[in-house]
Chains A and B, each alone.
Chain A
Amino acid sequence: MSRLYDTVEPSVIDDEMLRKAVEEQGPKEEAGKIAKQEGVDYCDVLSLRLDFRNILKVDNLWQFTKLTKLQMDNNIIEKIEGMDALVNLRWLDMSFNNIEMIEGLDKLTKLEDLTLFNNRITRLENMDSLPNLHVLSVGNNKIDQLDNLIYLRRFPNLRTLNLTGNPVCDDQGYKLFAVAYLSHLVYLDFRLIDEDTRQKAHSLYENKLGELMHNEKQAEVAIEAEKKAAQELLKHKDAYVEHLNSPVLFESMYKEDPEGMKLSMLPGLQDMLKDFQDKFVEVCMKIFEFGMKEYEKRCKEMREFNTCIQDAEAANKRQAVAVIDAFEEYKKKLFAELLVTSDAEIQERKMNEYHEGVNETWDKIMGLEMQLVDQLEETIKDFERNMTDLMSQLVEYIQGLITQVRDLENSHNEKLLEMCMTVLEKVVKNEMDEELPDDLRMLFVDKDTIVNAIGASHDVHLMKIDNREDEIVTRSGAWLSGHMQKIHADECARNRARVVEITNYIDHLRDEIDTQFMP
């Protein structure tokens, strides 16, 4: 029950409270003793109970990263907060508090059981990031709208729902509404939903539900399509030819070109422009297709490289493991022999033999590692060379095509100039048959103005084309160097890890015999 503030002293979650709770709820007996001796890390605690403690504000829980169960019922908490670190939480109980709003649960994506019984919640909201929700208990709250139930449709795993004691339950159609709209539900308000109710609810809300489902489905399809398009675009971007399969580049040329726009109103230019655009887009399409083809080629090359590297590593690992297994076998036998002999001289000899064996093993596995490093280095070099070739091919070819685009623009420009000259002549001689729009007429005052306008338009167009070219060149170059760097770095890290592992293992072998058989 909610308590009045002035009657009880509110407390905060502090280290002492946490330590006490962890200790109390931790292991008992001998295990408890050990735990006390070495202390328990908060990050290892799996479940924590902080009930009946008059906590007002949730805080200081950031260390409990592995926590799966948290009970904070019967406190005076007013706001759900400070739990963003508890990403592994599955079970959260905050019943009998003073919470007014559901919030702050966005990071708890693994949550399955949420209890907010007896609070002051008015709406079901802000739970979109909890797809695994199984059990939801929000009884004795202030939820009064049936629409809140529709919000719960997004939880496909929700089986148990408790809403008793909310104003909404007074609604006559509440139960049937809940059953109809939440068809996965098994238990509602502490009761199993029987087949009878289910059917009744279904027949009652069939039409509305059908409509809703239809809408939901459509939304789903739309999202799916969007996702697919985004993926496709990503792929195009990786190929550096995004939007080149559509007239986007062409349109962008005219977008930032006021003169060009004006000029396009010129009578007789429309056809020319159309022709220009068709040719332009055709070349762009060529670039796009080539880019995608090259992209596929690159992907294939990378796949092949990766599988080969993996194969080589796996083969090398097998060899090393065989060496180690053989030595372990030998070690077992030797230890067994050492245990039974008491002759110091034999022991001495065996120990020496063992150490020699350890050295030999070290030689062998280190040798294998060195061999692998050499092999991989060579292969990576090959790969780098091939990739560089591929990239330069791509860039050269695309540059060739872009030159075509530029030529198109140039010839278009010349034609335009010619046309404008004739128009200008006509305008000057007042022989114009058709009326020109005013802003266009403004350009045809003298030769300089029109030439300047056409020149400006041309410059903008060329700049756009140049920019696109530069973008392709720089992006492809950056990707290649980044990718190769990553490969080198990965290989380096792998090698270091392996050497550390080998050294660690060899040290362990040396220690082992000493600790076992040295007096």
Chain B
Amino acid sequence: EYPESYKDNTNKEKLILAYVENYRRQYVHLFRDRKPLFLNPLNECGIEKFVCTTLRPTLLSYKALYHWQGCAEFVADYLTMKQLEPPQELPMCLFSPSTILKRQLGNCFDFSNILCSLLLGAGYDAYVVSGYATKEICLADESRQICPLLQPKKEVLKEAEKPEPRKYTVKPPRDLRSKFIIKMEARRKKEAEEEEKKKQQEEEERIAELEKPPPDALYGLRIHAWVLVRGGKREVPEDFFIEPFTGQSYPPSSPSFLGIESVWNSTNYWANMQNCASGCKDMSFDLMDTEKWEYMLAGSDQTQIEIPDAEEELYDLDDDEKENEDEKHLDMPATWVLPICVTKNQYEMRCPQGKKTTLYKKAKLEKYANYLLKDGLVTRLSVYDNNELTDLKRVQESFENREDKLTTRVHQGGLITEDFVEGRPRSLQQHVYKASNPGPEAERTMTFFHKARNKLRVDGLCKREETPTEMTEHFVNRDDFLFLRHVLFGKRQKKVAPATAEGPPRPILKITEKFHRNDALSASKDVEEQIFIIHEDKIQITYHREDPNITASTRDFYKPPNAEEKGGSLQWSNDMTNTFQVNPHGSPAKNLAIYENLLQLIQTEQKSIQAVRSSEEEVKEILMDRQKEELASELAISVYDTERNEKAKKHRKELERLAMEEKLRRQEMEMDYLAPFLAQIGNPDKISKTQAFKLKEDCLADLKQRLIDKANLIQLRFEKETSELHKRQQDYQQKQVAMTKEDEEQYFNYCSEAMFRIHILELRLNRHKQMAPHKYMQLEQKLRQDPRLSVYF
């Protein structure tokens, strides 16, 4: 079951084990009151192995595993944890990573071993640490920790740049308020704030006290193993720990880690010489420091003690001696474990059975492998209001590979928020709606993808907010400078309508449209806001403010009823409009212009109403699409995914099948050159020696005959062709004078063709003569090697 290296030790391994034993004895001798070191546990075959040789640095071909976060997460997800039994003693065994990965079950040492192997493979300066930790860490109990997904992101505070004081900045107006009152006010406010703060602090303290874990009888004795990553390589700025059960990183100062006995990786082993009374807070991880860390193998290049400059010369003198010394050092034997390998399928399944549930403080996180669930769910984070996880507050679901591009869905406070990635028709980005009323004409907000420069939607819509009676649409980058349209709906007229048909659309009471400034027009002609009060037949226009002005021109229109009806022209009367002009000296607009303006506005109003209706329609369509998609919940499969892409798989299988058939057919086609001769002697099951000789003779004779026949045939043709040519030549000599030009040409043509044929025949004959002995030899060779006859030759 296991390879040889598992069942036995090589000489070098034996040597190192002796070395280890020596080291252990010295250690025990020097530090009688310290616990034993984790040095040479038994492997799965019951053989003693040095822990350093159990590591095997490996870089797996998955992108996420190139970073420590990915490695830690993978190990934490992939394996199921098993606590040490008893918790205060070192385990007897340490299995190879390949065995652990197969079983998907391991203790903290197994976890750390694999994680460290992966990290070393990815180029990190990583070490396995054997030491002591709190109960929560040892049991991977995260129920007192805030879920990492919920941790508030650290906001980078950007200090607003203070404008430089300018020379001519105007002085602010005088502050006429009483300074004393302001001061008193500020003091009172401050006091109140402090009071509030204090209260809050007390409350926090009280909660923290309540949430404190119960005292642990084995505090400080629980053995644990984790991984240390030292700064320097792979742009890691400073040392940190990775807890392998959860994949979380901790700073070395974390109070959860109580002490360190030893650290090791595939190159060396160090025992800790520092005091751990205050945890790992003040510990130095400078492994070169022989005061603080006692190394095992002196020769390993990592432990090369740095030589101060003054002593360098001295060393230079006896360089040779030093080299000799170096050679004497024992180096680490090769690892005995099988390579770590994780297939794509295993990697994608992640957790055993593809599912994993973790409990955090007031939260529960469920993870699923990609493509495991039909709707593409990969994580579900449920947030609760209490520690008993009964009062559900918020559910956050993330999806992967959805055909409808849904990425997350959040339920909170009766609202559902759905986020999509780019690529949906209509460019939907986010959809917020009430869980109780997902239908149209309800409260909802739809956000659409838009870009600063090129809009993704033709109409430039970026957001649409709705309530049962209102709809607000925001636009960007429109050619007509529209950026907001707000619609107020009235109540539906109650009508007795058949239940099946959709009711009439909601009546529109008011449409407000706002525009950005269009620099091509003068401000007094550039509309800033137009309000169509439809139920009052009124249109209100506000123009943009001219640069220095603080007031804006306005114009109201009172439409005669049924103005929008086609046909019959609109009758004009002066009381249909009411104008306020900012500049009292400017000439008032002509009635003609106002009239034309009104006509145009009436058209615009119709267009706006149409736009509103089509918006309503669009909402309905989007909702319908969403419903359909939710029912189908199809998952997208990449064309490169050879495993899941059914079509590609089928195609490939088909190709394979065809190739197979072709091969079979060809095999059948291959003729048995001995068959006719065997048939002559009646296809005997067993061929006697004389028969075999005879067969050979016959076979060769036959070939010889055929070769001769062929040569004769070619010769015959050659002769025939030559004589023919000769005849024609003579013929030509005689009749040359009397020949017509055509005949002559024909003759020449014939001659050249005949010469060509003769030449070819000649070549063939030569070639045949050359090849014939070869062919004969080949057949003889083949006969000698033929399985049926080979017994006798």
A321 and B545 within 8 A (CB): yes
Q: Is B173 located at the chain interface by the 8 A CB criterion?
A: yes
Number of interface residues of B (CB under 8 A): 26
Task: Verify A40–B592 contact, CB threshold 8 A.
Answer: yes
Which B residues, 538 to 554, have Cβ-Cβ distances below 8 Å to chain A?
Answer: 545, 548-551
The residue on B at minimum CB distance from A313 is: B548
A308 CB–B CB distance under 8 Å? yes
Q: When the two chains form their complex, are residues A309 and B168 in contact, meaning their CB atoms are under 8 A apart? A: yes
Other-chain residue from B168, B550, B569, B570 in contact with A304 (beta carbon distance below 8 A)? B168
A308, B592: Cβ atoms under 8 Å? no
How far in angstroms is the closest Cβ of chain A from B723? 64
- Tell me if B169 and A30 are in contact (CB < 8 A): no
B590 within 8 A of A: yes
B596 to chain A, nearest CB (A): 6
Please pick, from A34, A37, A498, A504, the residue contacting B548 in the complex, using a CB distance under 8 A: A498
Which listed residue (A44, A379, A502) contacts B170, Cβ 8 A?
A: A379
Interface residue? B171 (CB, 8 A): yes
Distance in angstroms between the alpha carbons of A379 and B595 in the assembled complex? 48
Q: Pick the contact of B167 from A308, A313, A378 — CB < 8 Å?
A: A308
| A312 & B170 in contact (Cβ 8 Å cutoff) | yes
Interface string of A358-371 (1 = CB under 8 A from B): 00000001000001
Q: How far is the CA of A498 from the CA of B592 in the complex (A)?
A: 30
List chain A residues, Cβ under 8 A from B169: 308, 311-312
The answer to whether the Cβ of B580 comes within 8 Å of any Cβ in the partner chain is yes
- In Å, the complex CA distance between A309 and B166 comes to 11
Chain A interface, >50% SS class: helix
CB interface residues, A 343-386, toward B, < 8 Å: 365, 371-372, 375-376, 378-379, 382-383, 386
Cβ-based interface call for B308 (8 A)? no
Q: Is B3 an interface residue (CB 8 A)?
A: no
**How many chain A residues touch the partner (CB < 8 A)?**
46
Interface residues in B156-184 by Cβ distance below 8 A to A read: 166-171, 173
Is A150 interfacial (CB-CB < 8 Å)?
A: no
The answer to the question of A478 belonging to the interface, with a C-beta cut-off of 8 Å to chain B, is: no
In the bound complex, do residue B582 and residue A30 qualify as a contact, i.e. CB atoms below 8 Å apart?
Answer: no
Once the chains bind, are B168 and A30 in contact (CB under 8 Å)? Answer: no
A518 at the interface (CB under 8 A from B): no
Q: How far is the CB of A487 from chain B (nearest CB, A)?
A: 12
A365 adjacent to B550 (CB under 8 Å) = yes
Q: Which of A40, A321, A515 contacts B550 (CB 8 A)?
A: A321
Is A307 engaged at the interface, CB distance under 8 Å to the other chain?
yes
Given contacts A304-B166, A308-B169, contact A34 B550 (CB under 8 A): no
Q: Name B547's closest neighbour in chain A (CB-CB).
A: A317
Interface string of A5-46 (1 = CB under 8 A from B): 000000000000000000000010111011101101100100
Q: Which residues of A contact B168 (CB under 8 A)?
A: 304-305, 308-309, 379, 382-383
Chain B positions within 8 Å of A305 at CB level: 167-168
- Whether B591 is near chain A, meaning CB under 8 Å from some CB there, is yes
Contact B590 A501 (CB under 8 A): no
- Return the contact of A34 from the options B578, B583, B595 (Cβ within 8 A): B595
How distant is B445 from chain A, measured CB to nearest CB, in Å?
25
Per-position binary interface string of chain A over residues 77-103, scored 1 when its CB falls under 8 Å from any chain B CB and 0 otherwise = 000000000000000000000000000
Residues of chain A whose beta carbon lies under 8 Å from any beta carbon of chain B: 27, 29-31, 33-35, 37-38, 40-41, 44, 301, 304-305, 307-309, 311-313, 317, 320-321, 324, 365, 371-372, 375-376, 378-379, 382-383, 386, 494, 497-498, 500-502, 504-505, 508, 512, 515
4 new A-B contacts at CB < 8 Å, known A33-B572, A38-B592: A30-B595, A38-B591, A324-B551, A505-B582
**Subset of 24 A-B contacts with CB under 8 Å:** A29-B569, A30-B569, A30-B570, A31-B595, A33-B572, A34-B591, A38-B592, A301-B167, A305-B168, A308-B169, A308-B170, A321-B550, A371-B173, A375-B170, A375-B173, A378-B171, A379-B170, A382-B168, A498-B550, A500-B584, A501-B550, A501-B551, A504-B551, A504-B582
User: Closest 10 A-B residue pairs measured CB to CB?
Assistant: A375-B170, A308-B168, A320-B550, A312-B170, A504-B584, A505-B551, A30-B569, A305-B168, A508-B580, A35-B592
